[in-house]
Chain A
């Protein structure tokens, strides 16, 4: 029956595929539009399921969209206004602490190497420490240097992203419907179902990760705040951001807190409290939050997680590490659906 695809249908297919490729290509050429657009898309993916829930109370769609949008604005802007000054303050203070941490690490390292030397007679040398310190310094200065560069675009985003979110929420359905009109008949059903499935699972995934990260971040920030540890908000933010990366994230998020805690408080009760706090937060994450959200999170094999994090970090640095997991999950979803489409069901 496949041979019955006639000529106009072939032309339509070609135009459709060509149009999509052209669209993606042009998006990749203009990152100034693409980045806020994709951020807005991700935010709208999180909040689109809320609109039907609001509509169930008998509110019409436009009113529901407005209501949700105002709620999003409040949800994001209030903490941003409250937290941003504190976080920037803490970030500024970090650079004064860096030498202290460095000297602490050096002295600790010396102690350990001398211990090893006295016990085994093997000389470790300073290269490892110096290399890793150099790397750490380079990375932090790189991030700090890039902040002004990002700041300009951030101001642009502050206006663009809410605008995009609003119109994606409001008119996304119309865009989609008019886009679906040019989808050729022969692939319409599959394309529509796949894109719906993909959007929903990606939205669920991002929503679950967002909830998980914010719970961990809030627990750690409040805990550190109660313990009266410096940089409570910053460390909580780091823990929340790294929590997005499965398996590796919690460990990565703990390292700065442990190094800082050791340098500042030594092997004392405060350090113990910090360690226990991180363990408790991750236990809550694993034991309580994860089982509730697990149905919404795409399971990636640990090997795939590690590989995609490495790939992401080589191409896009620290941001790449965080983006890589949703991208890998999206890739897995698409390949599973394509596999099912090609082999799975028909062979049954």
Chain B
């Protein structure tokens, strides 16, 4: 007879729990292994990269299947200046320093190459895009991992395979890479123009002083 009394108690006691604990519910929901963001977060990461905004979600998913996730320790060399490069990297997590070694052979007497730190790249940044476009591309700077970081790399063989199997995705990727290089070319052209102007000014000053 006890269970009937329980039943009665439940029927009588119509009070709901005071509060639904939403954070806990959310925690359990998100720890579900089938939850989409746990399954594969690389496409979601790619979605946040600005140059890839003309990719559809499905195309990003397909693109992510030909990317390689590489793990680098703190201070590890990603690639060296003057190496032959075949890879274009996105920074998935961590920080990367781009460094130029000026070892000009003419006035390099002491033989220790000076390291010029150019720029620090962080999550969502990318580097090495020229390697995808150039034939026998030579890296014009070194890249060093500055925390333990994860990089998503796409390499020339992957691009060749994509061109054959998924021409649309390959075209969009190349479009993105050309946008990057075009922007860079534009700023370089501006810089050249500025420098030429400066040289002219200096030459004029030189002539005046002579």
Contact = CB atoms under 8 A, between A and B. Distances in A.
Interface stretch (B46-54, B160-168, B185-193): B160-168
A149 interface: no
Interface stretch (B1-9, B10-18, B72-80): B72-80
A188 B165 contact: no
B164 A193 contact: no
A55 B87 contact: no
Interface in B178-202: none
Contacts of B75: 4, 6
Interface of B: 68, 70-73, 75-87, 101, 136, 138, 142, 155-157, 160-161, 164-167
Contacts of B164: 49, 52-53, 56
Given A52-B161, A192-B86, A193-B86, A6 B73 contact: yes
B138 A177 contact: no
Interface string A1-17: 10011101100000000
Contacts of A29: none
A189 B138 contact: no
A186 B75 CA distance: 12
B193 to A, nearest CB: 30
Contacts of A53: 164
Given A4-B75, A177-B68, A189 B166 contact: no
A189 B86 contact: yes
Which of A186, A189, A196, A346 has most chain B Cβ within 10 Å? A189
Contact of B84 (A4, A185, A190): A190
Interface in A186-207: 186, 188-190, 192-193, 196
B155 A189 contact: yes
30 contacts: A1-B77, A1-B101, A4-B75, A4-B76, A5-B77, A6-B73, A8-B73, A49-B164, A51-B165, A52-B161, A53-B164, A55-B165, A185-B70, A185-B72, A185-B76, A185-B77, A188-B70, A189-B79, A189-B84, A189-B85, A189-B87, A190-B84, A192-B157, A193-B155, A193-B156, A196-B160, A345-B84, A345-B136, A346-B82, A346-B138
Contacts of A188: 70
Contacts of B155: 189, 192-193
Contacts of B101: 1
Q: Is the interface of A mostly helix, strand, loop or mixed?
A: helix
A267 to B, nearest CB: 55
Contacts of A61: 165
Nearest to A190: B84
A56 B167 contact: yes
A346 B142 CA distance: 15
Nearest to A9: B76
Nearest to B145: A185
Contacts of B84: 189-190, 193, 341, 345
B96 to A, nearest CB: 13
Given A177-B68, A345-B84, A56 B165 contact: yes
A190 B139 CA distance: 13
A145 B83 CA distance: 55
A180 interface: yes
Contacts of B83: 189
A345 B83 CA distance: 9
B82 A4 contact: no
Contacts of B76: 4, 6, 9, 185
Most buried by A among B85, B138, B161, B167: B161
B167 A196 contact: no
Contacts of A341: 84
Contact of B78 (A51, A55, A185, A192): A185
Interface in A165-215: 177, 180, 185-186, 188-190, 192-193, 196
B58 to A, nearest CB: 12
The 7 A-B residue pairs whose C-beta atoms are closest, nearest first, are A52-B164, A196-B157, A52-B165, A193-B86, A55-B165, A1-B80, A189-B87
A56 B84 CA distance: 31
B128 to A, nearest CB: 10
Nearest to A199: B157
Nearest to B76: A185
Nearest to B83: A189
A4 B167 CA distance: 40
A345 B135 CA distance: 11
Contacts of B68: 177, 180
B177 to A, nearest CB: 17
Contacts of A55: 165-166
Contacts of A6: 73, 75-76
Interface in A1-48: 1, 4-6, 8-9
A196 B161 CA distance: 10
